[in-house]
Structure 1
Amino acid sequence: MIDDSAGVAERVAQARKLKGWSQPRLAMETQISVALIRAVEQGRRPATPAFASACSKALRVSVAELLGQPFAPTTAEDREMHASIALLRTEVAAWDMPAPEIEARPMAKLSEDVLASRRLRRDAASPKLAAALPPLLIEARALVHRSTGHVREQVCALLAELYYNARSLAHKLGYQDLAALAIDRMTWAAGESGDPLWIAAAQFHRATLLTNGGDWKTAQAYLERCRAQIENQLGVGDEPTLIAWGGLHLQSGLAAARAGQREMADIHLAEATATADRIGHDRDQILVFGPTNVGIWSVALAVEAMDSAEAIRRAKNLHIPSDTPRSRSGHHQIDLARAYQLQGNRALVMDSLMAGRLLAPSMVRYHPMVHETIRVLAREDARRTDSIRGFAAWCGVTL
C-alpha cells in the first residue's frame, strides 16, 4: 500500500524535481499551462484525471503512483477486499489451465451466480463482490475447458462477465496492473464467446486503458476502428449494435474531453444521445446504455472539460431513476462534487460527496478524485470543519 499522507500535488512536484524539471518545462512537455501546474502543486486546484495522466506520461511515472494507489484499507471489511486481490491475481494468471481437480456445476447453475455477481458490481457492493469472485472464476475456467461448441461459447460469455467484474474491483481498489490484465482476459473470453456486446464491452475498457494512460490520440483512433466494424449494421437497428455504437461514442467523448477537444467531445456525445433516443430506455445488460446513462455521461464530460456551469446545467435537467445501478448514480455524485468545487460552492461539494457515500460507500472511499476533492476542500477551509475532517478520516485521507 502507498502512504496517502501526500497527495497528487506533492507526488507530481517530487517527480518533476527528480527529473530536474522546472514547472515551465513540465508545462511544455504536457501541454498544460504553467498556471494550472502551479495551482495543483500548491494545492489550490485538484488534479484531474487528464492532469494526472498527462503528467504520468511526461514524467514516466505510473498514473497509479501519482494518485497514490492502491490506498491503504481503513476498515476490517476493506482489508478483506484487498486480501482477495492475491487470489484474483493467481486466477487471472491461470486463465488457460484446465483445472481438472475442480468440480464445476452445470452452466445453468453457474450462470445464476455469475449474474448475481453482475448485480453486486452494478450496486458497487465491492466487499461482497470480492468474496464471490475468486471461486466463480475458478469454476468458470474449469467449465470452459470441459465444454465444446455453443455451450463453450456461453461459458466464455460468463467468463467475460467475471473478468469484467475482476477488472472493476481491481480498478476501484487501485490495482491498475491487475485491472489491465483482467481486460486482456476479458477480451479473449469475449472473442471466444462470439457475443457482439461482450466484444464491444472489451473494446470499451481497452480504450479506457489508453485514455487513462494519457494516450488520447491512440484511444480515439482505436475506437474509430471499432465503430467502423459495426457501422454497416446500424441500419438494421438491432439493440445490441446500437448499444455498442453508442457506448463506443461515449468512450470517444471521454478521450476527446481529456485531450482538450471540447467540440469533438460534444460531437460524440450528440451521437450517443441520438442512439440512446433510438433505443428509448436504459438497458441493464453488459454495457449499461440508454438515455439516463448518456445523461450521466454528459455531466461527466462537461466536468472533464472543466466547464462547471455546463455540468451543473446538464445535471439539473437529468432525472436518475431509483433503479439506476448504484455504481452509476454514485459516480454521478462524485462528478457533481467536482463541478461544484470548480464553481467554488464548498457546501454543495460536501452534499454531493455525502450523497455518493450513501449510494456507493466503498466506491467513494477509494475513488482518487474524491481524495483530491477533499484535500483541496480542506486546504480552502482553514477551519477544517468537522464534516470535512470526518469525511477525510473515513476515506483514509491524512490532512
Structure 2
Amino acid sequence: MEPETIGERIRACRRFRGMTLQELADLSGLSKGFLSMVENGRRTLDRRSHLDAVANALQVSLSEITGKPYLGTPRMRAVAQAAVPALRLTLMDCSLEDPPDVPSRPLPVVAEEVRKAERLQDRCDYVALGRPVCELLPELHVMAANGPREERAEALRLLIQASHFAQGLLTYLGYEDLAWVAAERAREAAKALAEPGWAGMTEFLRCQALMWAKGRSQALSTAVRAADRLTPHLDDEAAAESYGMLHLTAALASAALSQGDAARDHLAEAARIADRTGERGSGLLGLGFGPTNVGMWRVSVELELGDPERAVEAAHAVSPERLPLPRRQAMYYADVGRALAKLPGKQREAVQALRTAERLAPQRVHASPIVRDTVAMMLNRARAQAGGRDLRGLAYRMGIPH
C-alpha cells in the first residue's frame, strides 16, 4: 500500500535508508519525539525549513516526502497530467530568438484568450488550464518576435502572463524543474520588453520557482537584488507593486531560513509600499499586491516561523473580502486552517477555514500536500470521537482514508 501522508513517506524513506529515528533526528536537527509524532500522524511537518532538513537528511527530493499533488478523481488527474508532455515540448521549442513556425491570430483575439486563461488560473482550475496555455505560448512567441512592431510590447506582456500560467500549473502538478523553465521564458520576455515593473515581476516568478525547489537562500538573494534594482523606479506603480511582491517573497524565504527578524523587516517594507499604492485589484499577473495581500502574507510568514498563535492573530487583522481573488483567498484560508489546527480546542474552526479554502479553489486545496497532511492529522486526532462529519467529508474529497 502506498504511503498516504508525509509522515508515512518519511518512515518509508528512513527504513529504505536503513536509518533509525534517532539518526534521522541527529542529521535533520529535529527532535526524535517530534519526528516520531510526525511519522505516526500526530504532528504535521509543514514548515519549509523542516521539510528541507528531513529531505536533505534522507538524501531524497522534496517530492519524495510530500508526494505528488492529488487532483480529485482519476479522470481529473489524467486530464491535468496530459498537458505536461505538450507543455514540456512547448517550453523547449519556444524562444524569442527562434520562434516556432506556427500561425498567429489577431492580437485582440489572443488577448481575450489570455484573459480567459487568467480566470481559470484564478480559480486554480488546473484541469482546464493546460490546453489553452499550450496553445498560447507558441503563438505569443511568434507575435512578440515577428508581429507588427506596434503590437510587440503588448504581445510580450501577454507572453509573460501565459508563462506565469504555465509556471503555476507545472508547480502545482509537481514539476518544479519545468516551472523554472517557464519562469525563465517570462524573464526573457521581460528583458525584451524593458519595463522595470514587468522585469521585477518575472524575478518574483523565478523566486517562487526556487522556493518550491528548496532554493530558499537563492530565492532570498534573488528577491533582494531584484528589489534593489527597482528602487530608482518606485514612482512607477507597476515597479512599486513588483518591489512589494519581491519583499514579500524575501520575507517568506527569510522565515524558511529561520531568520525571523529579517522576515518581519521585509514584511514591514512591503507594508510601507502597500500603504502608498493602496489596493490595486488584481494588479500585475493577478497577484493583487496591496495592504490586504500583505496581511495575508504575514499569516504565512508567522506560520513558517512556527508561531501559529501569531499567525491567527495576524489573520484577525485581515479582511479577505477586500481582495476578491479566489486563488489568493483560498491560500489565506488554508493557512488560517493550518494555524488553527495546531492550537488546542480550535479543530472546529480549523475545519471551517479549510472548507472555505476548498470552496474557493478546490483543486488548489486538494493538490496541497501540506493541507492534506493537516487534514489527516486532524482526522487521526478525531477518530477517538468518531470524527466530525465536516472533517470526514473534507477528507473524502481529498482522497484521504477516513
Which residue number corresponds to residue 254 of structure 1?
A: 252
| Structure 1 segment 4-15 matched on structure 2, within 5 A | 5-15=3-13
What is the CA-CA distance between 1:26 and the residue it aligns to? 2.9
Counterpart residue number, 2:240: 242
Residue equivalent to 1:65:
64
Equivalent position SS for 2:217? helix
8 A contact 1:114–1:136 mirrored in 2: yes
Q: 1:200 to 1:31 in 2, by over 3 A?
A: farther
Q: Confirm or deny that 1:202 pairs with 2:202.
A: yes
- Please state whether the residue corresponding to 1:398 is helix, strand or coil: coil
Match of 2:401 in 1: 398
1:366 aligned partner: 367
1:72 Cα deviation from its structure 2 partner:
6.2
- 326-335 or 21-30: bigger deviation: 21-30
Q: CA deviation at 1:206?
A: 1.7
Q: How far does the alpha carbon of each residue in 1:74-97 deviate from its partner, in whole angstroms, 9 at most, with x for none?
A: 153443222222222221121135
Deviates more, 1:33-42 or 1:84-93: 33-42
How far does the alpha carbon of each residue in 1:272-330 deviate from its partner, in whole angstroms, 9 at most, with x for none?
11110011223422242101111111111111112111111121121122652100001
Would the aligned equivalents of 1:53 and 1:213 in 2 still touch at CA under 8 Å? Answer: no
Letter in 1 for 2:27: E
Deviation at 1:166, TM superposition (A): 0.8
What pairs with 1:1-399 in structure 2 (closer than 5 Å)? 5-50=3-48, 51-71=50-70, 73-74=72-73, 76-96=75-95, 97-100=98-101, 102-147=102-147, 149=149, 151-234=151-234, 237-286=235-284, 287-321=287-321, 324-344=324-344, 345-382=346-383, 383-399=386-402
Distance 2:154 2:5 in 1: 44
- Residues 1:135 and 1:66: Cα distance change in structure 2 (over 3 Å): same
Q: Give 4+ residue runs of structure 1 displaced > 4 Å after superposition.
A: none
Q: Which amino acid in 1 is paired with 2:90?
A: E
| 2:254 aligned partner, one-letter code | A
Partner Cα separation in structure 1 for residue 20 and residue 207 of structure 2: 32
Q: Which whole-Å CA distance do the structure 2 matches of 1:276 and 1:323 have between them?
A: 13
Local SS of the residue matching 2:371: helix
* Contact kept? 1:73, 1:82, Cα under 8 Å: no
1:174 match: secondary structure: coil
More deviation, 81-90/253-262: 81-90
Residue by residue over 1:357-398, the C-alpha shift from the partner in whole angstroms, topping out at 9 and shown as x without a partner, is 111111111111211111111111122444333222211223
Q: Which stretch of the first structure deviates more once superposed, 279-288 or 142-151?
A: 142-151
Q: Give the 3-state SS of the residue equivalent to 2:320 in structure 1.
A: coil
Shift of residue 215 of structure 1? 3.6
Matched AA of 2:363: S
CA 1:28/1:202 → structure 2, altered by over 3 Å: closer, same or farther? farther
**Is the Cα–Cα contact under 8 Å of residues 40 and 47 in structure 1 kept in the other structure?**
yes
Instruction: Measure the CA separation in 2 of the matches of 1:396 and 1:36.
Output: 26
Superposed CA RMSD in Å reads: 2.2
> Alignment length, in residue pairs?
394
Residue 109 of structure 1 deviates from its aligned partner by: 2.2
Q: What percent of counterpart residues are identical? A: 27
Provide closer, same or farther for how the CA distance between residues 73 and 210 of structure 1 changes in structure 2, counting only shifts above 3 A: same
Give the Cα–Cα distance (whole angstroms) in 1 for the partners of residues 30 and 214 of structure 2: 13
Q: Which runs of 5+ in 1 are unaligned?
A: none
For 2:263 and 2:33, the matched residues in 1 are separated by 24
- Code of the residue aligned with 2:276 in structure 1: it is R
Residue 343 of structure 1: SS of its match in structure 2?
A: coil
Note if contact 1:302-1:308 (Cα within 8 Å) is conserved in structure 2. yes
Change (3 A) 1:128 1:183: same
- Structure 2, unaligned stretches of length 5 or more? none
Q: Deviations over 1:342-368 (max 9, x none)?
A: 113211121111111111111111111
Given that 2:69 and 2:366 are in contact with CA atoms closer than 8 Å, whether structure 1 keeps it comes out as no
Separation in 2, partners of 1:385, 1:284: 36
Measure the CA separation in 2 of the matches of 1:201 and 1:279.
16
Whichever residue aligns with residue 19 of structure 1, its letter is: R
Q: Is the 8 A contact 1:5 1:398 kept in 2?
A: no
Amino acid at match of 1:269: L
Equivalents in 1 of 2:270, 2:68: separation in Å?
Answer: 32
Deviation at 1:153, TM superposition (A): 3.5
Residue deviations 1:127-180, cap 9 Å, x none? 332342222223223323423655334322211111100111122222323222
Distance 1:184 1:250, change over 3 A: same
1:50-76 deviation per Cα after TM superposition (whole angstroms, max 9, x unaligned) = 122232233331112211114365153
Q: Which secondary structure state, in structure 2, belongs to the residue aligned with residue 98 of structure 1?
A: coil
Query: One-letter code of the match for 1:346?
Result: Q
**Please, which moves more after superposition, 334-343 or 215-224?**
215-224
